[in-house]
Amino acid sequence: MGSIVTMLPLRGDCFLAKGKTKTVYVCDSCGNETPRWEGRCPSCRQWNTLAEMKQSKLPERNHWIGESLPAIHLSDVAVEDFPRIEVDSHEINRVMGGGIVKGSLTLIAGDPGIGKSTLLLRLASDVASIGRPCLYVTGEESVSQIKMRADRLGLPGTGLYLLQATELTEVMAELDKRQVGLVVVDSIQTLFDASESSTSGSVTQIRQCTRVLMEWAKRTGVPVLLTGHVTKGGDIAGPRVLEHMVDVVLYLEGDPISAWRLLRAVKNRFGSTNEVGVFEMNNEGLVDVIDPSSVFISGRREGSVGSIVVATMEGTRPLLIEVQALTNPSLLPAPRRVATGVDINRLLLVCAVLSRRTGVPLSGQDVVVNVTGGFKISEPAADLGIALAITSSLRDLPIPTGLVALGEIGLTGEIRAVPQISHRVEEAHRLGLSKCLVPQISAHATSGSGSSLGHGVDTLSEALSYALPRS
């Protein structure tokens, strides 16, 4: 005799069989799900991070995406412009694609003390100043601490409301009774839903609180900004699912002892990704840096040994950055390779090609490479500049004044093409640099931006002969 199953109605005319649930174990560190408990997470290899969670066998419906519609031809789809809220910060507008999209959910992540709260407080103040009241929810600081920060930054308090709370129902109750134009939650790891048995900051709590806030944002059209902490590895603390749920993910990067901060877009459903905004941290908070290239190379001394300017692209923005290198006879059987601001694997590749293809003797040398200003170069276009800086330090010869290098180094010693080379050369020309060392295959692309600047090379040996000729 079959058992009777009670059907519970849900929103959207869908039903869930009572008791139709399954138990999974979710890692608090990486968000990986496993069907059984293990002492060690099979994904991130962390110990004692798996927590039990009850899951419905039926997938949750995303109520914020609207009613289900029949299939429609792509050409018949009406395109709508996303309404945006522009703020006073040119750099923030640039990174977010023109401003904050109404009804969007944005996550801003970064190391502790990097300036996330300062950035969000400034954003909330800017939006409130244009007649859109803002609610700033804090779960890590008291309202008096936020008031002190606002006074220190010289921010007006008009239209900015502070709520010290960690319980989700309290936050939602305040949102239901108050008309606001922006919501800030600092941070999402401190919120918890009392209906869930897990502790705040766990995978279950972060997922549930984010889902509720997203549904509210899509329903009301009010944008919500979240802050999130990152782990030692640079990932957002807690589940990776958080990045998949939100519309925009921004990372605030920089060296805490340096004044420069970079706001990088790694996900943006309403604009381009990998855009970068540059800020300076001072007594007034995070201040826009409108011309970062000139700032990054302003302190460089011409004629310095082991120093060169490289042209890198961050999104659609070309940036000129100083790269420094230092070589020193090693006292260890295995010489050290130290990289700050560049991928250590790229440094190892450059050193190997220098030694094998050009005969530069690095087998007994410690090599240290540093990108000034706390900037991080993620693309291989800086390979040629790194190789020239290392060789300059080893030979104790300065690189010619006004030289910019850009190009990827292949394993055979060839100089490979890099994208958007004309924009890079134009930026060098704008700042008065006299010569760009570029891949020969891309030299023709510089003809429109001062052909006298570009000097093409095919191999790393040619580049060394041009920039650092032996006496």
CATH number of the domain residue 138 falls in: 3.40.50.300
Q: Are residues 276 and 312 located together in one domain of the fold?
A: no
- What is the model's pLDDT at position 171? 95
DSSP state of 412: T
- As a whole number, mean pLDDT of residues 167-177 equals 94
187 and 216 inside one domain: yes
Q: Are residues 13 and 144 in the same domain?
A: no
Task: Report the pLDDT value the prediction gives residue 54, as an integer from 0 to 100.
Answer: 65
Q: Do both 181 and 272 map to the same domain?
A: yes
Mean pLDDT of 207-232: 88
What average pLDDT does this structure show over 70-92?
86
User: Where among 234, 267, 290 does a domain terminate?
Assistant: 290
The answer to whether residue 317 scores a pLDDT higher than 70 is yes
Domain boundary among 239, 270, 290: 290
Flag whether pLDDT at 56 surpasses 70. no
Average pLDDT over residues 295-299: 83
Q: Which of 58-67, 167-176, 300-309 has the lowest mean pLDDT?
A: 58-67
Q: Is residue 386 part of a domain?
A: yes
* Residues 140 and 205 reside in one and the same domain: yes
Across the chain, what does the average pLDDT equal?
Answer: 85
- Closest-CA residue to 382 (of 326, 337, 341, 422): 341
189 and 98, same domain (yes or no): yes
Residue 122 within a domain:
yes
Res 15: pLDDT: 38
* Same domain, residue pair 440 and 461: yes
Segment 322-345 shows an average pLDDT of: 94
Please give the pLDDT value at position 471: 59
Note if the bond before 187 is cis, omega within 30 degrees: yes
Taking residues 262-283, what's their average pLDDT?
Answer: 87
Q: What's the total number of domains in the chain?
A: 3
Write down the pLDDT at residue 81: 74
Range of the domain at 14: 7-58
Residue 2 belongs to some domain of the structure: no
Average the pLDDT over each of 77-81, 138-142, 268-272, 316-320 and give the range with the smallest value: 77-81
Question: Quick check: is 449 in a domain?
Answer: yes
Q: Taking residues 213-232, what's their average pLDDT?
A: 87
What is the predicted pLDDT for the residue at 460? 96
- The DSSP element (H or E) to which 53 belongs, if any, is strand 50-56
User: What percent of the chain lies above the pLDDT cut of 90?
Assistant: 50
Q: How many residues does the chain have?
A: 471
**What's the CATH code of the domain at 357?**
3.30.230.10
Q: What is the per-residue pLDDT for 113?
A: 84
Residue 344 resides in a domain: yes
Which of these ranges, 131-145, 232-246, 316-330, 454-468, has the smallest mean pLDDT?
232-246
In a domain, 65, yes or no: no
Segment 115-144, tens digit of pLDDT = 899 999 999 999 999 999 999 999 989 999
Query: Two tokens at 388?
Result: 């020239």
Band (347; pLDDT cuts 50, 70, 90): very high
Task: Indicate whether 14 and 120 sit together in one domain.
Answer: no
Of 65-69, 131-135, 423-427, the poorest mean pLDDT is in 65-69
Burial of 280 (0-12, 13-18, 19+ CB in 10 A): middle
Strands of the sheet with 365-371, listed across from one edge: 337-340, 365-371, 317-329, 307-314, 403-405, 435-439, 454-457
In terms of domains, do 400 and 321 share one?
yes
Q: Which residue matches tokens 């600047």?
A: 453
Four-point Cα dihedral 421, 404, 261, 242, nearest 10? 40
Is residue 94, in this structure, part of any structural domain at all?
Answer: yes
Is the domain of 194 the same as that of 102?
yes
Residues 167 and 276 in one domain: yes
- Is 266 found in the same domain as 170? yes
Q: Which residues contact 69 (CB under 8 A, 6 or more apart)?
A: none
pLDDT in tens, 350-402: 999 999 999 999 999 999 999 987 788 989 999 999 999 999 999 999 999 88
Query: Can you give the pLDDT at residue 175?
Result: 94
Mean pLDDT value of segment 453-460? 90
Give the model's pLDDT for residue 19: 45
Q: Is residue 280 part of a domain?
A: yes
pLDDT of residue 451: 44
| pLDDT, average across residues 69-81 | 82
Per the DSSP assignment, residues forming a β-bridge with 7 are: 17
